[in-house]
Amino acid sequence: MGRPLRTGAHLLAIDACLAAVVTAGYVTLADRGATDGLPRFSGPWWLGWLVAVCVGVPLAVRRLWPLPALAVILGGSVTATLLDITRDPYISAALAVYVVALVEPTRRASATLALTLIVSAAAVITGEAALTPSGPWAEAAGTSALVWLVIGAAGAAGRVVRERRSRADRRERRLAEEALAEERLRIARELHDIVSHSLSVIVVKAAVANHVAEARPEETHEAIQVIEQTGREALTEMRRALGVLRGDTAGRRMREPGSAETAPPPGLDDLPGLVQRAERAGVRTELSTQLAVGIPAGAALAVYRIVQEALTNVVKHAGGGTHCQVKITVDSQGDVRIEVVDDGAGNAVATDRAELNGGHGLVGMRERVMVYGGTFAAGPRPGGGFAVSARLPSEPAHGTATSRKEGTA
């Protein structure tokens, strides 16, 4: 099957006008007498009109039925040549060949072009050099060469346009696939940040409650309260994230202004809440912010998620009793620097922080930084503990994203 042609009403209207002009021109030539000494058509008027219709009218539907239109046009053009109605360079056939090369499969289009060239050349040489000679054979061969040039150029033009459109289609598909992959990655990052942070706190407090259930029931009660509060907060963030990802604007307009779905995405003002959750899990956390200027909501969300994941790793891999420092600095140019450093003095069961480099959390943080063309580094500290640092420039260079390893403090 051929490729679907991009046919609009305006193109069909242009083809209809073109068909009318060509048909009228052939009718005029069929009715015209010999004035230049060359053989002219002397048959009945209806035959001249029939040939004119066959050569011109199919142009109106060449975009709808390329091969049938070309067959009728080529038959009419050959008849016109043999009857000495006209000696044009098969312009009508060339217009039909262009569409065939544009929409038909390559092999079929090539075979059709070759057949059209052979038939047209045979008709020109037979008509001008054999049936009603109008000059030497060399002149007939020159006319055939002109016909071949016109038809061949039309076929080549159709192929070029076909390839250009094919490349454009492939580029659009690739961009659509990249956009889909990026959207999936964004959803995965959001869900990972929300679920991982909350579940880490829940798991830690559940382990505490299980450990001291009989000996210190008051601590068990406190841990259960933390689990309940963390679960509720996680549900709220999950509803908010899903509402944003759905993009259901009509539905959001029907909800109350204070609902989770209509709440703005988290930013720098929500960092104290992260600190409180980490402290509820037993991590002593200090937050320091130095803001010379404000930052956009997108960058603020990235800062929030990076700090959230870094604190999640502290809770998960360092455990209660760890001391952690979170420092956010925004200079006058709008560049944001994030530092999350812990001393690793906790009592977590699994404290092997070397495995972090291959985890999804660090990958997600690095990807968020790469979106802004910033730099990211994470690794163990020489004196013990772990450090995460990131820089988000206000204006990424040339709109590209880069990531590189930096030395950690």
Give backbone dihedrals phi and psi of 7, rounded to 5 degrees, phi first: -105, 125
Tens of each residue's pLDDT in the chain, 409 residues: 445 455 678 888 888 898 888 888 877 776 665 454 455 666 677 887 888 888 889 999 998 899 999 999 999 888 888 887 766 778 889 999 999 999 888 899 999 999 999 998 888 888 776 666 666 777 778 888 888 899 999 999 999 999 998 898 889 888 888 877 776 776 676 666 666 666 667 777 677 677 666 677 777 777 777 777 777 767 766 766 666 556 544 444 444 444 444 456 788 888 998 888 888 878 889 999 998 788 887 888 889 889 988 888 888 887 778 899 999 999 888 899 999 999 877 655 444 444 444 456 788 788 888 888 899 999 888 878 899 999 999 875 544 443 333 333 2
Place of tokens 């209509």: 262
Cα distances from 189 to residues 26, 185, 305, 360, 366, in angstroms, run 69, 6, 9, 9, 11
251, amino acid identity: G
Cα distances from 15 to residues 32, 96, 107, 119, 161, in angstroms, run 26, 11, 26, 24, 18
CATH number of 270-409: 3.30.565.10
Q: Rounded to whole angstroms, how far apart are CA atoms 121 and 229? A: 87
Place of tokens 């995460």: 388
Strand ordering across the sheet containing 375-380: 284-291, 323-330, 336-342, 386-392, 375-380
Q: How many CB atoms lie within 10 A of CB 377?
A: 18
Q: What's residue 391's pLDDT? A: 93
Q: What share of the chain is helix, strand, coil (3-state, %, to 5)?
A: 65, 10, 25
Q: Rounded to whole angstroms, how far apart are CA atoms 70 and 78? A: 12
Cα distances from 297 to residues 264, 266, 302, 363, in angstroms, run 9, 8, 9, 22
Interhelix angle 9-31/91-103, nearest 10 degrees: 150
Beta pairing partners, 379: 387
pLDDT tens-digit map of 284-318 = 899 999 987 888 878 888 898 899 888 888 888 87
For the whole model, what pTM was predicted?
Answer: 0.51
Closest alpha carbon to 336 in 396, 271, 407, 390: 390
Is 305 strand, coil or helix? helix
Give backbone dihedrals phi and psi of 165, rounded to 5 degrees, phi first: -65, -35
Do 281 and 320 form a contact (C-beta atoms < 8 A)?
yes
Do 392 and 299 form a contact (C-beta atoms < 8 A)?
yes
Q: Rounded to whole angstroms, how far apart are CA atoms 265 and 272? A: 15
The residue ranges of every structural domain in the chain are 9-174, 270-409
Do 396 and 379 form a contact (C-beta atoms < 8 A)?
no
Helices then strands, each counted (H, E), the chain: 11, 5
Closest alpha carbon to 29 in 109, 88, 99: 88
Q: Rounded to whole angstroms, how far apart are CA atoms 269 and 379? A: 27
What residues contact residue 334 under an 8 Å CB cut-off, 6+ apart? Answer: 293, 295, 394, 395
| Cα separation of the two ends of the chain | 64
